[in-house]
Structure 1
Amino acid sequence: MDTFVTFTILGLVLGSVYAIAASGLVLTYNTSGIFNFAHGAQAMLGAFVYWQLSVGWGLPTPIALVVVLGIFGPLMGLGLYFLIMRGLRDTAEVTKIVVTVSIMLGMLFLSQWFWHAEEPRTLPMFFGDDSKFTVLGATVHVHELLCLIAAAAIAVGLRLLFTRTRMGTTMRGVVDDPDLLRLSGHNPERIAGFSWALSSMLAVLAGILVTPISGGTLEANLLTLLVIDAFAAAMFGRLRSIPRTFVGALVLGLAGTYLLGYAPTSWTWSSNLRVSLPMIALFVVLIVLPQDRLRGAAVRTRERYHVPSVRKAVGWAVALVVIVFLIRQLMVESAVTTLTIGVCFAIVALSLTLLTGYAGEMNLAPLSFGAIATIIVFHFGITGSGLAQRLTLVGVVLGVIVAALVGGLVALPALRLRGLYLALATMAFGVFLSNMVLRDTTEHELFGVKFSIFTGGTLVIPPLQVGPLDLADPTAFLMTATVLFAILGVGVIALRNSGYGRRLTAMKDSPAASAMLGQNLVRLKLSVFVLSAGIAGLGGVLMSSALGSVSGESFTIVISLSLLMLTVVAGIGYVSGAFFGGVMAGVGFSIIMVSFNNLAKTQPDLEGLFLLLGNLAAVSPALIGIGVGHNPSGTVHQVVEGYRKLRDARPVLVGGAAVVAVAYVLALTGILDNWWFATITIVTVFALPVVGEMLMPTAVLGEEEAARRRPVDPERVGVDEPYSAETIARVDRELGLPPLPVRTSDEATAQAPESTPEKELTAHV
C-alpha cells in the first residue's frame, strides 16, 4: 500500500508540472495559431536564471521567484511575440515551426554559453529536501505539495479566465478573426502579447518546479526535452481545452510512475519505455483524435519557389561536381572527411525538399530514418574483419529499403494527419526511436538467436566498397557522395516536373480540390513518405560511414530539428537549398566555432574576442532561423532572384567569375590562404547583384525602374528631364514638400484643358 501511495503521489506531482507547462502551450496556440516548440527551452532558461539568482548570487528565494516569474518570464514572452511571432502571419506551417525551433536552439546555445555544461549545478526543493511529511505511509515533500497546489490553482484560474471574463473571450477570438475583434474595439496584438507573457511565466514555473523532482541537476538538453513531454498533455485537450489538458497531464504522470514501480524485473527495457511513454501517448492521441476537415481552397502564403527544368538541373549537377572537385584540391585530408559529412547531411536534407518543399508534408525527424538504415547495415551489410571491414552494396540497399518501409509504416497511421499534427507525430516517432531503440544496448534472445539492437552503444560503420571503388579513400568518398547527391537532386527535380510532381503540388495547395479531381491522397502521401525515408536512409548510412562510428547522440531530435531549420533557411523548395542547408548543418558552423577556439588558444592576447566570436557562431544558426519569417522562401530564392536580374548584365557576371577564378588560382598556388579564398568567394556571390545594380542599373532593373531610382536634381528638371507626374512627385520628395492633393475624376476632367505639368509644378513650388 505504501508503494502504491508513493508512486501515486509522485505521478500526480509530475503530472501537475506537465499540466502547468502544457497550459502555456494551449494559451499561445489559441491566441496566435503558433505551436511553440521553444516552450521547453523557455522553461530551461527560466530555471537557469532562477538558479543564478538564488544559488549563484545568493538572493532570497522569494525575491528570486518574483524576479523570474514576475519580470523575466513575462518579458521573455512579450519579446518573443512582438519581435518575432506576430511577423509570421501568412507563412506556411513549416515556417512557423522552424522559427520556434530556431528559438529553442538559440536558447539552448545561449544557456551553454553563459552556464558551461562542465560545471555541475543543482536546484534544491523549496524549503529544503528535509521539509516533508507522511501521508498514508508515503513521504511527501513540501515542494511536491506546492506543485499540486500550483497546478490546481492554475487550472481553476485559467478555466475562469477563459469562461467567465471578457479577456478570455477576446483571447479566443484573436486567432479566429483578429479583424472582427479589432472592429469591436479590442487590440488583438495586445491580447496575444498578454497570452504569450502568461504562457512564458507558466513555462518558467514548470522548469523551476520540475528540476528538483527529476533529480535537481540542471542540464540544458535534458530539461528542454523533459518539458517537451508536456506536448502530449496539450494534445489531450487538442490545444483548446484546459481541463482536458490537465487530465491528460495527470494520466501521463501516473502512467510513468506506475510503470516504473510495477514493471516486471525481467523487462530490461522498462526504464527506456518509461522515458518514451509521453511520446507514445502523443502519437496515439494524434491518431485517435478527430482531425480538421480538408480545406477547400488554396491558402496563399508568402513562400515562392522556382523549379528549374531537367536540362538546367543536369547542367547545375555537373557544375556542382566540378566545383566540389576543384575545392578538394585546396583542402587537407582531414578537411575532406569533414566536407564529406556535410554532403551526406545534404542527402538527408534532400528528403525534406521532396517531402516538405514539394508535397507540403512534415517530418521533424529525418535522421531517425538514417539511424534505422545504419542499424540494418551494421547487422547485415558488413563483410571482412578488422581494418579490412567494408560495407557491401547489398547491405546499403537493404538498409535503404528497410528505412523506406519504416517510413511507410510510420506514415500509414499518420496519413490522416496534416500540418502541425503530422509534424508532432513525426517528432514523437523520432524521440521514441532515440529513447527506446538507440538506447537498447542489452542482449536479447529470440528463437534461440542472441542479438542486440544498438550493440555496445556505439556502431562502427566501415566505408563502402563496390568493385574497384573503395570509399576508404577520402577523395573517392567525397566525390561519390557529391555525385550521388547530384543524381538524386536531378531525379527529385524530374519527379517534380512530372505528372506525379504536379499531383503532389496540387495536394500541397488544396487537398480538398485535389481529392475532388480524383486524386488518391492516401496513395500520394504514402508514396512520397516512402521515397523521402529511403533518401534519408541513404544519407544516414553514408554519414555514419564518413564518421566511422556513431552513437545514439548522432541521431537525436535536436540534430534533426537543426537540419530542418537550416534547410528551410536556405530554401526547402530548392535542391540547392538542401545542399547548402545540409552542409551548414553537418559541418559549416562547427568548423567556424572550432576555428575561433583554435585562434583563441594560439593568440592569448585576443582570447576573449575569439571566444566571443565562437559563441556568436554557435548562436548564429538560431538567429538566422528566427529571421526566416521575413524571408520565408529562403536564402537561395533571394540569391536566385538577384541573379535573374543579371541576365542582361553579362560584364558583371564575367567580372565576378574572373574574381573567383583569380582567387582560386592564388589559393591553389599557396599565395592566398584558403579562408581568404572562401571569404572572397562568398562575398562575391552575395554582392554581385548589388554591384550589378550600381554599375549597370538599366540592364539590371530596366529603364523605368532605373529612372525611378535615379536621384533627381531639381534645377535640371525641364532642361535635361521632361515634366511628368512622376517627375513632379520625385521633385516634391527631394525638396521635402507635401504631395499634391489627390483630385477626383470630375475635378481632373474640368481642369484638364487649362492644366499642364508645367503649370502644376510652378504653382506647387
Structure 2
Amino acid sequence: MTTFLTYTALGLVLGAVYAIAASGLVLTYTTSGIFNFAHGAQAMVGAFTYYQFTVAWKLPAWAALIMVVGLLGPAMGRLQHAFIMRGLRDTEQITRIVVTVAIMLGLVALAQWLWDPQEARVPQMLFGVDRTITFFGVTLRYHEVICLFVALALAVGLRALFVKSRLGVLMRATVDDPDLLSLTSHDPDRVSAQAWMLGSTLAVLAGVLITPVIGGPLEANALTLLVIDAFAAALFGRLKSIPLTFLGAIVLGLMNSYLVGYAPAGWSWVGNLRQSLAMIVLFVILLLFRNERLRGAATRSRERYEVPPVRRAVMWGAVFVLAVMAFRQLIDASSVGLLQLGIAFAVIALSQTLLTGYAGELNLAPLAFSAIATIAAFHTGIHGEGLEARLSLGGVVVGVIAAAVTGAIVAVPALRLRGLYLALATLAFGVFVSSMILRDIQEHTLFGRTFAIFPNGNLLFPRLALGPVDLADDDVFLLVSAALFAGLGVGLVALRNGGYGRRLAAMKDSPAACAMLGQRLLWLKLSVFAISTAIAGLGGILMSMSLTSVTKDHFVFTVSLSLVMLAVVGGIGYVSGALFSGLVAGAGLTAVVALLNNAATERPEFDGALGVVSHLVLVSAALTGVGVAQNPSGILHDVFARHRTLAKAPEIRYGAIVAQCVLYAFAWSDVLGTTSFVVLSLILWLCLPQIGAALRPAKILGDRPARATPPELVGIDSDYPSDLASRLDKRLGIEEGVARVIA
C-alpha cells in the first residue's frame, strides 16, 4: 500500500506541474485565440535562467524566483504580445502557428548558444532534497509539496478570474468581439497583453518547478518537449475549461507515475512509451472530440497566392533542372551531397504546398511520415550486401504506400476537425514517432521472424538501382532528384488548376459552402492527406539515400517544425516556396555554418567573432517565421509581384540573363568563388525590379494614376472623402437641389 501511495503522490506532483503549464496555455488561447507553441520553450528559458542565478551565480532562491517568475516571465509575455501577437489578426491558422513555432525554435537556439549543451547542469529543489514531510507513510520533499499547493491555488484563482472577475470577462471579450470591447472604452490590446504576461509567467513557473521533479540535467530540446506534454492536459479541457484542464493534468501525471512503477520488467520499451505517453493521450482525446461545426462563411485573411498556368510551370521546371546541372559544374564533389539533401527536403516540403497551401489542412510533422517510408523501404526493398547493396523500386513503392496509409490513419481527426486540432494531432504523431518508433532498437519476434524497427539506431540506406540507372553515381542522383522535384511541382500546379484542386480551394475557403454544393468533404480531406504524406514519404526516401546513413536525429520533430516554418516564410501556396524551404533547411544553413567554421579554422584570431556570427545565423534563421505576421503570403509572393512590373520592359530581363551568364563564366574560370557567385546572383535577381525602374522608368512606372477605391470599400480600405455625399448623389442620380430639399 505504501508503494501505491508513493507512486500516487509522485503522479500528483507531476500532474500539478503539468497543470500549471497547461493553465498558461488555456489562458493565452482563451484570451487571444492563439495557441502558443512556444510555451514549452519559455518554460525552458525560465529553468535555465533560474539555474544560472541559483547555482552558477549563487543567488538566494527567493531572489532568483522574484527575478525569473516576477520579472522574466511577464517581460517575455509582454514583448511577445507587443511585437508579434498583436499583428496576427486576419491571418490564417497556419500563420499563427508558424509564428509561435518560430519563437520556440529561436528560444531553443538561443538557449543552446548561451548554455553549452555539452555541460551538465543539474537543477536543485527548493529548500534542498533533505527537507521532507511524511504523510500517510509517504515522504515528500518541500519542493514537491509546493508544486501541489501552487497548482491548487492556481486552479481556484484562474477559475475565479474567468468566472467572477471583471478582468476575466474583458479577457474573453478580446477574442469574442474586440471591436465591441473598444466601444466600451477598453483597450483590447492592453487586456490581451495582460493575459500573455500571466500565461508566460505560468510557463516560467512550470519550468522552474518541473525540472527538479523529473531529475537529470537541463537540456533545451528535452525540456521544451517535456512541457509540450502539457498540451494533452490543455486539450482535455478543450482549451476552455480550467477545472477539466487540471483534471487532465492529474490523470496524465498519475498514468506516467503508474507506468514507471507497475510496468512489467520485461517491457524494454517502457521508457520510450513514457516519453510519448502524453502525445498518445492527446491523440486519443482528439479522436473523442465531437464534430466541429462547418464554417458558414469564407475566411477573410491577408494571405494571397497566385497559381501559375501549367505551361509556365513546365517552363520553370525545365529551367530548374538545367540550373541545378549547371551549378553542379561549379561545386566540388563534397558539396554535391548538400545540394542533394536540399532538393530532398524540398520534395518533403511539397507535401505542405498541397496540404496547407491548397487545401488549408495542417501537418506539423512531415518528417514523421518520411521516417515511416524510410523504415518500410529499408525492411522490404534492399538487396545485396556491403558496397553492392541497392534499393529496389519495389521498396520505394512500399515506403510511399506505407506513408500514405499512415497519413490516412493519422488524418482520422481531420475527418471531423480542422485547423489547430489537426495540427496538434500531427504533432502528437511526430513526437510519438521520434520518442517511440525511432528509439526501438530492440529485436522483436513476429510470426517466427526476428526483426528490429530501427536496428542499432542507425540505418545504412543504399541508393536506388533501376536497370542501367544507378543512383550511386552522385551526378545521376542529383539529376534524378532535380527532375523528380520539377515533375512533382508541375503535377501539383496541374492538380491545383484542375477540378480536384478547385474543390480543395473551395474546402479551404468555406467547408460549409463546399458541402452545400454536394462535395464530399470527408473524401477530400482523407485523399489530400494521403497524397501529401505519400509525397513526404518519397522525399524522406530521397533524403535517406542522400545521407546513406540515417539516425533518429534526422527525423526529430523540431526539424519538421523548421521545414514547415520555412515553407510558410517562402510562401506555402507556391511550389517555389517548397524549394526555398528545402534548400535553406537542407543545404543553406549547413553551408553557411560550415563556411564560418572553416573561416575560424583558417583565421584563429577571429574564432570568437565568427562563432558569435554562426550562432546569430542559427537564431536568426529560427526567428524568420516571426516576420510572417507582417507578410503572411511569404517573401516570394512579394518577389513575384515586383518582377511582374518588368513585363512592359522585357529588355531588362534579357539583360539580366546576359549578366547571369557573365557571372557563370567568371565562376567557371575561377575568377569568382562559388559563394560570391551565389550571392551576386541573388542580388541581381532580387534587385532587378529596382534596376529596371531606374533604367526604364517610363515603361515600368509610367504615370500610375492613383487607384480609386470602390464605393463599397470606402471607409474600410480608405478614409471617408470629403466629397462622399456629392459622389453618392451623382451615382444615385439625385439632383443637388432635390437633395437639399430632402435634407
TM-score by length of 2: 0.95
Cα distance in 2 for partners of 1:662, 1:705 equals 38
- Aligned residue type for 1:2: T
> Once the 2 structures are TM-superposed, how far is the Cα of residue 747 of structure 1 from its aligned partner?
13
Structure 2 residue aligned with 1:286: 286
Q: How does 1:112-511 map to 2 (within 5 A)?
A: 112-511=112-511
Cα distance in 2 for partners of 1:447, 1:478 equals 40
Residues 337-370 of structure 1, C-alpha deviations (whole Å, 9 max, x = no match): 1110110000000011011100111101101111
Q: Is the 8 A contact 1:342 1:585 kept in 2?
A: yes
Q: Is the 8 A contact 2:286 2:413 kept in 1?
A: no
- Aligned residue type for 1:117: P
Question: How many residues end up aligned between the 2 structures?
Answer: 718
Q: Is the 8 A contact 1:296 1:512 kept in 2?
A: yes
SS state at 1:139 partner: strand
Residues 486-539 of structure 1, C-alpha deviations (whole Å, 9 max, x = no match): 111111111111101100000000000000000000111111111111111110
Q: How does 1:697-712 map to 2 (within 5 A)?
A: 697-704=697-704
Q: How does 1:5-154 map to 2 (within 5 A)?
A: 5-154=5-154
Q: Is the 8 A contact 1:98 1:625 kept in 2?
A: yes
Structure 1 residue aligned with 2:662: 662
Q: Is the 8 A contact 1:287 1:414 kept in 2?
A: no
Residues 578-619 of structure 1, C-alpha deviations (whole Å, 9 max, x = no match): 011111111211211121122122112222221121111111
Q: Is the 8 A contact 1:698 1:706 kept in 2?
A: no
> Once the 2 structures are TM-superposed, how far is the Cα of residue 230 of structure 1 from its aligned partner?
0.4
Cα distance in 1 for partners of 2:71, 2:600 equals 36
Structure 1 residue aligned with 2:527: 527
Residues 412-463 of structure 1, C-alpha deviations (whole Å, 9 max, x = no match): 3431110001100111111111111111111111122111111111111011
- Aligned residue type for 1:270: V
SS state at 1:645 partner: helix
Residues 540-570 of structure 1, C-alpha deviations (whole Å, 9 max, x = no match): 0110111111111111110000000001101
Structure 2 residue aligned with 1:723: none
Instruction: Select between 220-229 and 443-452 the one with higher mean Cα deviation.
Output: 443-452
Residues 262-291 of structure 1, C-alpha deviations (whole Å, 9 max, x = no match): 112222222222221110111111121224
> Once the 2 structures are TM-superposed, how far is the Cα of residue 696 of structure 1 from its aligned partner?
2.1
Cα distance in 2 for partners of 1:660, 1:55 equals 57
Gaps of 5+ in 1: 709-740, 750-765
Q: Is the 8 A contact 2:105 2:623 kept in 1?
A: no
Instruction: Select between 223-232 and 430-439 the one with higher mean Cα deviation.
Output: 430-439
Q: Check if 1:569 corresponds to 2:569.
A: yes
Runs of 4+ with deviation above 4 angstroms: 705-708, 741-749
- Aligned residue type for 1:398: V
Q: Is the 8 A contact 1:697 1:706 kept in 2?
A: no
- Aligned residue type for 1:666: F
Cα distance in 1 for partners of 2:707, 2:554 equals 55
SS state at 2:648 partner: coil
Residues 126-156 of structure 1, C-alpha deviations (whole Å, 9 max, x = no match): 1111222322332211110010011011111
Q: Is the 8 A contact 1:30 1:175 kept in 2?
A: yes
Cα distance in 1 for partners of 2:694, 2:204 equals 50
Structure 1 residue aligned with 2:587: 587
> Once the 2 structures are TM-superposed, how far is the Cα of residue 659 of structure 1 from its aligned partner?
2.1
- Aligned residue type for 1:701: L
Residues 699-745 of structure 1, C-alpha deviations (whole Å, 9 max, x = no match): 2233225999xxxxxxxxxxxxxxxxxxxxxxxxxxxxxxxx95786
> Once the 2 structures are TM-superposed, how far is the Cα of residue 697 of structure 1 from its aligned partner?
2.5
SS state at 2:704 partner: helix
TM-score by length of 1: 0.92
Q: Is the 8 A contact 2:317 2:490 kept in 1?
A: yes
Instruction: Select between 7-16 and 647-656 the one with higher mean Cα deviation.
Output: 647-656
Q: Is the 8 A contact 2:103 2:622 kept in 1?
A: yes
Cα distance in 2 for partners of 1:80, 1:414 equals 30
Q: Is the 8 A contact 1:408 1:529 kept in 2?
A: yes
Cα distance in 1 for partners of 2:723, 2:526 equals 60
- Aligned residue type for 2:494: A
Sort the Cα spacing of 1:512 and 1:603 in 2 relative to 1 into closer, same or farther, 3 A. Answer: same
SS state at 2:215 partner: coil
Q: Name the % identity.
A: 56
Sort the Cα spacing of 1:159 and 1:698 in 2 relative to 1 into closer, same or farther, 3 A. Answer: same
Structure 2 residue aligned with 1:757: none
- Aligned residue type for 1:342: G
Cα distance in 2 for partners of 1:249, 1:111 equals 27
Cα distance in 2 for partners of 1:531, 1:202 equals 40
Structure 1 residue aligned with 2:637: 637
- Aligned residue type for 2:267: W
Cα distance in 1 for partners of 2:552, 2:49 equals 30
Cα distance in 2 for partners of 1:702, 1:155 equals 64
Cα distance in 2 for partners of 1:618, 1:592 equals 10
Sort the Cα spacing of 1:504 and 1:707 in 2 relative to 1 into closer, same or farther, 3 A. Answer: closer
Cα distance in 2 for partners of 1:111, 1:702 equals 51
Structure 2 residue aligned with 1:733: none
SS state at 1:542 partner: helix
Cα distance in 2 for partners of 1:283, 1:701 equals 54
Residues 378-426 of structure 1, C-alpha deviations (whole Å, 9 max, x = no match): 1111010011001011111111111111111111343111000110011
- Aligned residue type for 1:558: T
Structure 1 residue aligned with 2:689: 689
Q: Which structure: larger Rg?
A: 1
SS state at 1:265 partner: coil
SS state at 2:647 partner: coil
SS state at 2:411 partner: helix
Computed over aligned residues only, the root mean square deviation of the Cα atoms, in angstroms, reads 1.8
Q: Is the 8 A contact 1:441 1:454 kept in 2?
A: yes
SS state at 1:647 partner: helix
SS state at 2:399 partner: helix
